[in-house]
Each structure stands twice: as structure tokens, then as C-alpha cells.
């Protein structure tokens, strides 16, 4: 007599996450396993830096991974402590080609590491991890997602825009500080003038009062 296999409930497909970009069109957030590819390879063009950040955040959030901490804040901190780490090349083959747009980052706690596409693909082949988009980190051996650096780093145009934006903000701040200083000096001059006028009026009133007092006490 054949035994019945236990009944299993059908697995529900994950609900697609929609995202509205800065230019107004709505796109589906790619699964975290696809973040290995740069945005253009997934047909996601005309994304702002914030669009890319939000998409990666939502995609990894669905996998219980905080992209803000282990990708963006980590990369920002690494760049602040050692601005040259991104130019040092792949952490496996040490190829010093510019990896800002073509490199791969790992969503783990390891600091200041970037990899070239070829080394990551070769490492995936050697790895026992068979889940798409996941890799065993060469540094910490954690099973983590691979993310194209094109999602994380600014493009040259965005970097230039950010520099101009910061310079503009600094210039406006300096102009505002000068204006505030001029206004403060003007208020001070007005206050000193009013105080001098009040002292003058008080002195005049005191003299008038003295004259009246002398006249009233005269024999």
C-alpha cells in the first residue's frame, strides 16, 4: 500500500515591490540576487543616486539585510578614513583598474574591500554556495549578497554635481554669515545710539530738574 506524502501548502510568490523614481516612472525593485548586475544591465536607466540607494535598500530589506549600514555607511566611512581604498584595486587579484563603476561590493561587515567582476564570478564557481546572487565572502566567509558598485558609488557627473552643490552651499552660507554679521553690527550701532540718546536725555532732564530745584529753594 502506497503511503501518502504529507500535504504541503503551495509557496506564495514574493509580492513585487514597486518604486517611483525621481523622474516619475514606476519600476519594480529587482530581487537582491540581481544586484550583482549594474542598473543598466537590468534596464534601469536614468536613476538618480537616491533612486539607486532606495532600490538597493528595499531589495536587501526584503532579505532582512540592512543595506544602509553594511553598504552605504560602511563605504562612506571607509572613504573618509582612507580615500584611496577604492583605487587600490580588486582585493583578490589586485588589479588596479577603476572599479567605481565595474566593481563588486559584498553586503557584509568587512571593511574597505572591492572586487572585480571576473574574480567574483570565479569565486562563485569555486564556492559551495549555489543560491543565485550569494557568495562566501573571501574575508569573513559569511554568506552574503554581491552588489555592483554602480549601485553604490556616484557617477563622475554626480560627483561633480555634488562638489558644485557643496561649494554653492558654502558660498551661500558665507554670504549669509556676512549678512548676519552686518545686521548684527547695524543693530549694535542702533542700540548704542539709542543708549547714548537716552543718557543725553537723562542728563538734560537732570539739569532741568536741578534748575527747577534751585529756583524753588531760592529766597
pLDDT of 74-83, one tens digit each? 999 998 899 8
82 and 146 both lie in a single domain: yes
135 near 106, Cβ under 8 Å? yes
34 and 62 both lie in a single domain: yes
The Cα diameter of the chain in Å comes to 143
Q: Is residue 175 part of a domain?
A: yes
Mapped onto helix, strand or coil, the DSSP state of residue 31 is: coil
13-27, 51-65, 87-101, 162-176: range with lowest mean pLDDT: 13-27
28-42, 75-89, 120-134, 180-194: range with lowest mean pLDDT: 120-134
Q: Is residue 2 part of a domain?
A: no
Dist CA 71 CA 49 (whole Å): 14
**Distances in whole angstroms, Cα of residue 144 to Cα of each of 25, 150, 192:** 30, 18, 68
79 and 168 both lie in a single domain: no
Q: How far is CA 70 from the centre of its chain?
A: 13
Q: Is residue 13 part of a domain?
A: no
118 and 94 both lie in a single domain: yes
Q: Is residue 87 part of a domain?
A: yes
Q: Is residue 70 part of a domain?
A: yes
141 and 90 both lie in a single domain: yes
Q: What is the pTM of this model?
A: 0.68
Q: Is residue 219 part of a domain?
A: no
148 and 192 both lie in a single domain: no
Tally of structural domains, the chain: 2
Domain boundary among 132, 153, 174: 153
Host domain of residue 61 = 18-153
186 and 105 both lie in a single domain: no
Q: Is residue 164 part of a domain?
A: yes
97 and 126 both lie in a single domain: yes
72 and 96 both lie in a single domain: yes
Which distant-in-sequence residues (6+ apart) come within 8 Å of 65 by Cβ? 32, 107, 145
148 and 193 both lie in a single domain: no
Greater model confidence, 129 or 92: 92
pLDDT of 48-86, one tens digit each? 999 999 999 999 999 999 999 999 999 999 988 998 888
Amino acid at each position: 500500500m502506497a503511503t501518502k506524502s504529507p500535504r504541503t501548502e503551495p509557496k506564495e510568490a514574493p509580492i513585487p515591490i514597486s518604486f517611483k523614481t525621481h523622474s516619475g516612472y514606476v519600476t519594480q525593485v529587482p530581487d537582491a540576487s540581481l544586484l550583482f548586475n549594474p542598473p543598466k544591465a537590468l534596464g534601469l536607466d536614468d536613476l538618480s543616486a537616491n533612486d539607486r540607494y532606495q532600490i538597493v535598500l528595499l531589495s536587501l530589506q526584503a532579505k532582512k539585510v540592512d543595506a544602509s549600514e553594511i553598504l552605504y555607511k560602511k563605504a562612506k566611512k571607509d572613504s573618509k578614513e582612507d580615500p584611496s581604498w577604492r583605487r587600490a584595486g580588486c582585493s583578490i587579484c589586485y588589479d588596479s583598474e577603476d572599479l567605481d563603476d565595474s566593481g563588486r561590493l559584498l553586503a557584509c561587515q568587512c571593511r574597505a574591500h572591492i572586487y572585480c567582476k571576473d574574480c567574483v564570478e570565479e569565486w562563485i564557481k569555486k564556492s559551495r554556495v549555489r543560491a543565485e546572487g550569494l557568495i562566501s565572502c573571501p574575508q569573513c566567509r559569511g554568506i552574503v549578497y554581491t552588489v555592483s558598485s554602480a549601485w553604490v558609488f556616484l557617477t563622475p557627473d554626480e560627483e561633480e554635481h555634488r562638489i558644485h552643490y557643496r561649494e554653492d552651499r558654502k558660498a551661500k552660507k558665507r554670504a549669509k554669515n556676512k549678512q548676519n554679521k552686518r545686521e548684527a553690527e547695524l543693530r549694535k550701532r542702533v542700540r548704542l545710539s539709542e543708549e547714548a540718546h537716552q543718557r543725553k536725555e537723562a542728563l538734560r532732564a537732570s539739569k532741568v530738574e536741578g534748575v527747577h530745584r534751585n529756583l524753588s529753594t531760592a529766597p
